[in-house]
Amino acid sequence: MSNGSLADMLLNQEKRPNWEERMDIARDISIGILYLHQECETQIIHCDIKPQNILMDDNWRAKISEFGLAKLLKQDQSNTYTEIRGTNGYVAPEWYQKQAITVKADVYSFGVMLLEIICCRKCVDYSRSEDEAILEEWVYECYAMEKIGSLVGDEMVEVRKVERMVKIGIWCVQYDPSLRPAMKKVLLMLEGTVEIPIPPNPISFSSSI
């Protein structure tokens, strides 16, 4: 598409959208994933949700692309077993555990990407300090230490808005797929129509949503 990919926009300071525009993009993407998961005649797990596969159209609306790794589920099927698919940094933990794969794998990838949209950086960046190299770990640490402002640098954004989006991202990247919200719930969270509980550390198994 004419306006390139979301990855191009996030990492190019001259092209980078402002906070509200980035949140509109996140909502567009969530609507697209929800369509794949619940509104298609055949349920689809995309398996490779990442900024490089989000293209911006002429009206700067986000469109999901690259379905080469996607898995189509039969009507009576809610999960599948398959070899690891996707891109390092966005692949849900259950892939590595050789567990059944569900639509929650896409929710995990979306969560990683949402954190990238918030922070305008790559999910894995070893040029940064050890504490900041893995985005989801750094984000949770900043959230737990009440240092949310650190995530957006000098950008002028209300802390409560950043905190809300961070909480959504943390829920989406929970290690246990059963703790991740469905995309319908994610969309409602993004739209501000439901309350967002305090998320646990992503590797905790003790909470649910």
Q: Catalytic residue positions?
A: 48
**Tokens matching residue 153:** 């640098």
**Tokens matching residue 188:** 């409602």
Measuring CA to CA, how many Å separate 21 from each of 41, 155, 167? 31, 13, 19
Q: Within 13 Å, how many C-alpha atoms sit on residue 68's CB side?
A: 4
Q: Are strands 44-45 and 71-72 parallel, antiparallel or unpaired?
A: antiparallel
Query: Which residues are CB-neighbours of 127 under 8 A, at least 6 positions away?
Result: none
Question: How many angstroms separate the most distant Cα atoms in the chain?
Answer: 49
SS3 state at 146: coil
Q: Which residue is listed with tokens 């390092």?
A: 88
